[in-house]
Structure 1
Amino acid sequence: MKRMGYILCLFFLNSVSVFSQQVEEPIKIEGEAQGTTYHITYFDPQNRDFQPEIVQILKDFDLSVSTYIPNSIISRINSNEKNVVVDKYFKACFKKAKEVWKNTDGAFDPTIYPLSNAYGFGPSKKQKLDKFKIDSILQFVGFQLIELKGNTIVKKDSRVALDFNAFAQGYSVDVVSAFLTSKKITSYIVEIGGEVYAKGRKPNGSNWTVGVEKPIDNKESENPLKAIAKLENKAIATSGNYRRFIVEDGVKYVHHIDPKTGYPTKNNLLSASLFAKDCISSDAYATGVLVLGLEKAKVFLQQHPELQAYLIYSDDQGKYQVYETPDIKAILTEVEQ
């Protein structure tokens, strides 16, 4: 899962912050999971505490798709253990990854894991990389090299390894949200590691709100807000290169790797906030859009009106500019500077 380098404070992570206004008596749950924090607020006439069940759900989820747990399903597949049977969480992640990989023309690719690891953005120590090393790793990067057949994974190259961290946190938001919905909870907000889904409205009729940060390089604390969005039966995830990066020999390496070149992305798109009906889509497409870069992202978003986006980029003078999809104004309001 995404690690502690993203943790800023209670409700800030990866550009997204969560605000809950006190109305009636909301039930609030918070804790740590997936190397980050979670915050859940819901209204329940029966005043039930779902934290024990949610803690177990998140543990089971990690045992499926966390590359930081050696005996998780994904880790066992990556180490080529035989006869690994995948579960419902792994299947859902694999199928969504395949969809997003196809729709983004390969910009989003979970087989980037060996490169992410080599750059120091995974469980392993950073390697010294040069063009020869990167090109050698690229030989076994490509989602076409791995298939899901029934309940098992088949690789065309044993060196292929998967990493769902770019969107698994978003999917965990959906899993917890589905649990709350199954308990007849109709008003809630779930935030895990900054990825958010909000159901319904608060009992007083007001919307759940989240904030989108300015994309300022900052690993430790919150940034000023750039905009505030209202959510109702909608998810938001933001992907940016200003929270998770390393600097080596004066060079900044961001954690979004272009699967086609093997190098960290270099474009003027600073952050991508994606709104969708579920958080797995918001999270995965936010990553894909950031790798695509601004111009390709515009074309992609025009082809996918089911997604709404708020993109912050830098112009030739280094000033912030914004690209918005047509219906974003109904959701999002910029903060006065």
Structure 2
Amino acid sequence: MKRKWIAGILALLLIAAGGAAVFAWDGFSLRSEGGKQDSSAAQPAEPISETYIIFDTVVNVKLYGEHAKPQQLEEIKQMLETINNELSRTLEGSEVYRINQAAGKEAVQVSQDTFDVLQKALDYAVQTGGLYDPTIGPLVSLWNIGNEGAHVPSKAELDKAKGLIGYKDVIMNPKECTIKLARPSMALDLGGIGKGYAADRVAAYLKTQQVDSAMINLGGSSIIAMGSKPGGQSWNIGLQDPDQSRGTSLGNVQIINKTIDSSGVYERFFVENGVRYHHILDPRTGYPSQSGLKSVTIISDSATDADALSTAVFIMGLDEGMKYIEKQPGIDAFFITDDNQIYQSSGLKNTIHFTNPEYKLIE
């Protein structure tokens, strides 16, 4: 059996020309120019920034304005490391790891972070009918996509893993701040919501520091454009072409004080016997989702919401996903289908500029 392993590569590209910089990073390109400027006007001070390797990805934080301080970047690093140490499925000793090890045996006392993010995950599991399910851990471990040894499991293995999925079997005790998985071998995986939650926590911290202009980028999949750019300009966010390498843009959107999260087939995948298997697993079938979509991008006020919804809506597919999004206040999305057609929710009309002629915007 011939298997070809392909892993997504995180890239950081900086091009500086004529005072304008383009940052292309893991699914989005972040353009710092943001439109025409009066060259005679005073230019804002350079941001302070830091790059970390956390959540098994590259994290970049840029802070703008007079209240931005280097010490805040260190506080943010410590905050993100703490959250990762709580929510990681694979890190031995993390709270999620301990919950999984105790499945079917006993409740585990956890931090407020872990309790809150799992409660939010369970809320979305209910809302999406289990298409987003934080107990998908056994299926994620079985496929192992994104790591060496990824392979197509047998039907027996898939049936066993699917039988362990069930968000209704998570027992939450808010009084004791404990979590228990009711059945042995169940396992949580908060990868579909954890980075969004962490990004929201960073934004909340910065508000307490009176920082009102920042770019928070967790691996390109969860991005918060906090406030506006210095001078009141919009952030100009490039949108990933799902058929090309990371950082290749198919267009851009200008936003102020919004978050963007994208799920797509380009992120993590492997090829076995000529068939490509991506990492967005459908808990109903046990296989990578076959919804007719290449990617879904969510634009909302909350990175936590956007992170969970980008996964669930991808699995829903275009028709069901669009109907769902249109009912959610303050949340918009655009969908790219397998045949390169782009559909956008009503709140995005005339806000996204698509530049790649290989894709067709359906009005």
CA distance in 1, matches of 2:226, 2:150: 40
Query: Which has the larger displacement, 179-188 or 145-154?
Result: 145-154
1:92 corresponds to: 116
Q: Are 1:136 and 2:160 counterparts?
A: yes
**How far 1:336 moved relative to its partner?**
5.5
**How far 1:6 moved relative to its partner?**
5.2
Q: Are 1:25 and 2:46 counterparts?
A: yes
CA distance in 2, matches of 1:159, 1:308: 37
1:54 corresponds to: 76
Tell me, what secondary structure is at the counterpart of 1:166?
Answer: coil
Q: Are 1:170 and 2:196 counterparts?
A: yes
Contact 2:181 2:187 in 1 (8 A): no
1:43 corresponds to: 64
CA distance in 1, matches of 2:130, 2:107: 28
Query: Which has the larger displacement, 67-76 or 77-86?
Result: 77-86
Q: Which amino acid aligns with 1:68?
A: T
State which of 320, 331, 335 in structure 2 corresponds to 1:296: 320
CA distance in 2, matches of 1:109, 1:185: 34
Q: Which amino acid aligns with 1:178?
A: A
Q: 1:294 to 1:47 in 2, by over 3 A?
A: closer
Tell me, what secondary structure is at the counterpart of 1:56?
Answer: helix
State which of 263, 275, 282 in structure 2 corresponds to 1:258: 282
CA distance in 1, matches of 2:341, 2:347: 18
Q: Are 1:68 and 2:90 counterparts?
A: yes
Q: Which amino acid aligns with 1:332?
A: I
1:204 corresponds to: 231
CA distance in 2, matches of 1:206, 1:100: 33
Contact 2:334 2:344 in 1 (8 A): yes
2:307 corresponds to: 283
- TM-score, normalised by the number of residues in structure 1: 0.90
For each residue in 1:41-74, what CA deviation from the matched residue of structure 2 results, as whole angstroms up to 9, or x when unmatched? 2223145112211111111111110123111000
Q: How many residues are treated as equivalent by the alignment?
A: 327
**How far 1:270 moved relative to its partner?**
0.7
1:244 corresponds to: 268
**How far 1:112 moved relative to its partner?**
1.1
1:7 corresponds to: 10
Q: Which amino acid aligns with 1:182?
A: T
- TM-score, normalised by the number of residues in structure 2: 0.84
Q: State the identity %.
A: 28
For each residue in 1:266-317, what CA deviation from the matched residue of structure 2 results, as whole angstroms up to 9, or x when unmatched? 12111100011110111110011111111211221222243100111123xx
Query: Which has the larger displacement, 293-302 or 169-178?
Result: 293-302
Contact 2:139 2:286 in 1 (8 A): yes
Tell me, what secondary structure is at the counterpart of 1:165?
Answer: coil
**How far 1:335 moved relative to its partner?**
2.4
For each residue in 1:58-110, what CA deviation from the matched residue of structure 2 results, as whole angstroms up to 9, or x when unmatched? 11111110123111000111111855211122122111111211121111111
CA distance in 1, matches of 2:201, 2:336: 29
**How far 1:330 moved relative to its partner?**
5.3
Which has the greater radius of gyration? 2
Contact 1:43 1:187 in 2 (8 A): yes
Tell me, what secondary structure is at the counterpart of 1:323?
Answer: strand
Contact 2:28 2:239 in 1 (8 A): yes
Q: 1:306 to 1:248 in 2, by over 3 A?
A: same
1:113 corresponds to: 137
**How far 1:29 moved relative to its partner?**
2.1
Q: 1:299 to 1:46 in 2, by over 3 A?
A: closer
1:335 corresponds to: 355
